[in-house]
Amino acid sequence: MSIQGRLSSVWEGTALPRFEAITSNQKTEVCVIGGGISGISIAYKMAKRGHKVTLVEAFTIGSGQTGRTTAHLTCQLEEQFVQLLKMHDLETVQAFLDAHRSAIDIIETNVFSEHIDCDFKRLDGYLFQGRNFSEAKLRKEQDAGRKSGINLDYVEKTPLLSGAVAGLRFPRQAQFNPIKYMAGLLAAMRKLDVTIFENTHVRHIENLDPETTVISTDSGYDIEAKYLVVATDSPINNRFYIHTKQFAYRTYAMAFTLEGPVADECLLWDTEDPYHYVRFVDGTLVVGCEDHRTGQDPDGDPFRNLEEWTRKNFAFVRDVKEKWSGQVFEPADQIGYIGKNPGPEKNIYITTGQSGIGMTSATIASVLIPELIEHGTHPWAAVFDPSRPPVRGLSDFVLENVNVAYQYKDWVTGSEVESLQEIPEDHGSIMREGLIAKSCVYHEKGDCFEKKSAFCTHLGAVVHWNDIEKTWDCPAHGSRFNTHGAVIEGPAIDGLSER
Ligand SMILES: Cc1cc2nc3c(=O)[nH]c(=O)nc-3n(C[C@H](O)[C@H](O)[C@H](O)COP(=O)(O)OP(=O)(O)OC[C@H]3O[C@@H](n4cnc5c(N)ncnc54)[C@H](O)[C@@H]3O)c2cc1C
Ligand code: FES
């Protein structure tokens, strides 16, 4: 079973080298927490620039969201250009676009300079018309794209779709296998003497003075570093501030076998909200969508909806080969948070809020954070500054935070079941115990039950059962726990308490 839940993604058969857990105290110049594409890209770049780097990963490299991604490399910035230009000034949108477009070039350069065999391929991407999106709106998006700095061709018929569906062509986008890409960077990092620890969970971070941060791990060993980069997708060092400015969503993906090879492979995504995203992986069509707030009920059966949509739009798919889900963190104003951690500490950096463009965001972080560490400035710094106020996405910020506050209603609601026997096998339920306590109970089978406190160890919201991945998910800020109560995704650091 994957760390992230019951289902496995298309990449999980791809091998990565394994590393030992920490067994002694360490002293380093730069400590990077998190072995996903962000942590690996940043650690690689820092080592390449001559720094002494140590990377720590709670489980295994790639076991976070990087192992669940679909790995489109695009400069469609999650939101359409029309919306971005309503939210931000032109200069910001142009810099945002420039950063993501450059990130694809940087990945390509890394692939060639490090000789990484990761199926990297340049190809066109198409934004195509979804339900209720008129031709006039598509033309407006084309204009907004041009203003922002990208020329998009209008096409009457988007390739591969059943029927004549209009779209906008994004030239020179790309795709790759993210696990093979990380394997290539890891090989380069080995030559650069980067120290890597897997199965090393960070429990506590303490900034002693501007030059010293101590990172304490579950095994009792510490790492002392001058600079710390927290690349845990959802930052584990930042208890409150950042988590009011980004929101956790589950998203679903499926891989379909095909009737035969497809000649004109491309990337596709539509204008709907949430949008569908489509690419090819090893002769299968991989489709994703059905996003909903983590720990809150999906709209129907996500996989059934996704399969219906796929069969309607792609006449050449056959059987479902894989299906899985993952998590993305949506920033209130649509731009990720990359840079100095908000707060008084001097040498702590974060990268988060990457939404569905985490491959290029990770690469931007690998440029921006080393520049900030070495020179304290970079032309992209203000755009991605984690301390910027949420004024630009204010309405989303307010609505999403009202949603978070509403989740605390579960403190006073009753039990989902009255007795353990009502919980079906391989299923979890919430039980009220007395006036204040609530438990989450997983019924494994027969008389075997796992009972933990249902209060999330981040900020105390009541976790919800995720029956698709068989995990406990927090509806407030997206922490997730396995059936034994161990934390598998932050911002929580501790597992669910014993009951
Ligand atoms: C279904 C799906 C489709 C997507 N499609 C795309 C796409 O097409 N294009 C795109 O660009 N992006 C896409 N994304 C987003 C992208 O996958 C993510 O943004 C990206 O992988 C995040 O990488 P990361 O390294 O920041 O985080 P992760 O890969 O999650 O890595 C963070 C690591 O930190 C570790 N960690 C956490 N806490 C601790 C701790 N206390 N101690 C030590 N280690 C810790 C975790 O174990 C984890 O391995 C998609 C995401 C999903 C789920
Ligand atoms: S993730 Fe914040 S309360 Fe659970």
Predicted pLDDT of residue 399: 73
- Please state the rounded mean pLDDT for residues 237-257: 93
- Please state the rounded mean pLDDT for residues 190-204: 97
Tell me the CA–centroid distance for residue 72 and ligand 1, in Å: 14
CATH assignment of the domain containing 480: 2.102.10.10
- Give which of 14, 189, 196 is closest to 117, Cα–Cα: 14
Q: Which ligand has the shortest distance to the CA of 216?
A: 1
The answer to whether residue 459 sits within a structural domain is yes
Q: Which of the listed residues 12, 45, 60, 65 should we mutate to test ligand 1's pocket, taking the one with most ligand atoms within 8 A of CB?
A: 65
The answer to whether residue 165 sits within a structural domain is no
Instruction: Give yes or no for residue 391 having a pLDDT over 70.
Output: no
Tell me the CA–centroid distance for residue 37 and ligand 1, in Å: 7
Query: What atom in ligand 2 is closest to the CA of residue 463?
Result: 4
Instruction: Give yes or no for residue 133 having a pLDDT over 70.
Output: yes
The answer to whether residue 482 sits within a structural domain is yes
Query: What atom in ligand 2 is closest to the CA of residue 490?
Result: 1
The answer to whether residue 75 sits within a structural domain is no
Instruction: Give yes or no for residue 1 having a pLDDT over 80.
Output: no
Bridge pairing between strands 53-56 and 26-33: parallel
Indicate whether residue 477 lines ligand 2 (CB < 6 A). Answer: yes
The answer to whether the beta carbons of residues 327 and 290 sit under 8 Å apart is: no
What range does the domain containing 479 cover?
412-489
The answer to whether residue 483 sits within a structural domain is yes
Indicate whether residue 294 lines ligand 1 (CB < 6 A). Answer: no
Half-sphere exposure (CA, 13 Å, Cβ side) for 313? Answer: 26
- Please state the rounded mean pLDDT for residues 76-100: 94
Q: Please state the separation of Cα 444 from the chain's center in Å.
A: 29
Residue range 93-112, pLDDT digits in tens: 999 999 999 999 999 999 99
Residue range 276-324, pLDDT digits in tens: 999 999 999 999 999 999 999 898 999 999 999 999 999 999 999 999 9
Which residue in the block uniquely carries the two structure tokens 């910035």? Answer: 77
Residues in CB range of 5: below 8 A, 6 or more apart: 324, 325, 466, 468, 469, 470, 471, 488
AA letter at 403: N
The answer to whether residue 418 sits within a structural domain is yes
Indicate whether residue 327 lines ligand 1 (CB < 6 A). Answer: yes
Mean of all residue pLDDT scores within the chain: 94
The answer to whether residue 446 sits within a structural domain is yes
Query: What atom in ligand 1 is closest to the CA of residue 253?
Result: 1
Indicate whether residue 194 lines ligand 1 (CB < 6 A). Answer: no
End-to-end Cα distance, the chain: 26
Report how far residue 114's alpha carbon sits from residue 191's, in angstroms, rounded to the nearest whole number.
11
How many structural domains comprise the chain?
1
The answer to whether residue 366 sits within a structural domain is no
Tell me the CA–centroid distance for residue 328 and ligand 1, in Å: 8
Residue range 148-195, pLDDT digits in tens: 999 999 999 999 999 899 999 999 999 999 999 999 999 999 999 999
Whole-model pTM: value is: 0.96
Q: Which of the listed residues 411, 464, 479 should we mutate to test ligand 2's pocket, taking the one with most ligand atoms within 8 A of CB?
A: 479
Residue 231 sits at φ, ψ, to 5 deg, of -120, 55
Indicate whether residue 491 lines ligand 2 (CB < 6 A). Answer: yes
Q: Which of the listed residues 239, 404, 458 should we mutate to test ligand 2's pocket, taking the one with most ligand atoms within 8 A of CB?
A: 458
Predicted pLDDT of residue 397: 67
Instruction: Give yes or no for residue 196 having a pLDDT over 80.
Output: yes
Report how far residue 448's alpha carbon sits from residue 148's, in angstroms, rounded to the nearest whole number.
58
